[in-house]
Chains A and B, each alone.
Chain A
């Protein structure tokens, strides 16, 4: 689970994804699309912080330095962030696909 969390964190940390998606979605004709996507990806940064705190809590729990309750709370919070990020990503990708498959 921990490698998976790091993987997703690094995925959203790459500039390629965060730049490619807003650029691709802008031709939709929504004027404010750029700022909206920037806002979304700024929040993705916060989500990555939550994932990291979940990981560190899990590790300190394994070392016996944190209570089970604390570990569970942090990991659950990380999981919720991850679910939100994945759902938003799916939404963005499906928007991109519906634009790219548009009949001209």
Chain B
């Protein structure tokens, strides 16, 4: 595909897919913000992190974006004293996930903005392409 407008749409579309995957990770983190471990003293849900990398598309020769790795955040877990919880250890301490809601909100907002930016690129490229084709159509 030599068409630069088509290539722009393809690139922005890969951006949409990665940002929606990032949104999914944020959703997992937020939903599991209170998930404790399966048994007494076990580790709870660990916050997931997502990194991106560029990927050369062989067919078109452009740099797309893709998910590089979905990793695990190694910051220490929060510990609360709650002897009644099934996940409490022998001393009554419960490990809670290392999810920080404010950080997740910031990440969510960033994913949202990035998604909108890519959408805008697609809209713009599509309208440019349409008006270029209309040039052929109307000049008869």
Q: Hey, which bits of chain A sit against chain B, CB under 8 A?
A: 67, 69-70, 72-73, 76-77, 80, 83-84, 87-88, 90-91, 94
Find B140's partner among A69, A70, A80, A91 (CB 8 Å cutoff).
A91
Cross-chain contact B136 with A88 (CB below 8 angstroms): yes
Say whether B16 faces chain A, with CB atoms less than 8 Å apart: yes
Say whether B75 faces chain A, with CB atoms less than 8 Å apart: no
Cross-chain contact A76 with B140 (CB below 8 angstroms): no
Q: Label chain B's interface by main secondary structure.
A: helix
Q: Within 8 Å CB of B6, what residues of A?
A: 77, 80
Q: Hey, which bits of chain B sit against chain A, CB under 8 A?
A: 6, 9-10, 13, 16-17, 20, 122, 126, 129-130, 133-134, 136-137, 140
Cross-chain contact A69 with B137 (CB below 8 angstroms): no
Q: Given A83-B133, A87-B137, A91-B136, decide whether A76 and B9 contact each other with a Cβ distance below 8 A.
A: yes
CB distance from A83 to the nearest CB of B (A): 5
A91 to B140, CA, bound (A): 8
Q: Label chain A's interface by main secondary structure.
A: helix
A80 to B129, CA, bound (A): 8
Closest to B115 in A: A69
A76 to B124, CA, bound (A): 13
Closest to B15 in A: A69
Cross-chain contact B133 with A80 (CB below 8 angstroms): yes
Cross-chain contact A87 with B136 (CB below 8 angstroms): yes
Q: Given A77-B9, A90-B137, A94-B140, decide whether A69 and B129 contact each other with a Cβ distance below 8 A.
A: no
A83-B133, A94-B140 are known; give 8 further A-B pairs, CB within 8 A. A70-B13, A76-B122, A77-B6, A77-B9, A80-B129, A90-B137, A90-B140, A91-B140
A88 to B132, CA, bound (A): 12
Cross-chain contact B10 with A73 (CB below 8 angstroms): yes
Q: Within 8 Å CB of B130, what residues of A?
A: 80, 83
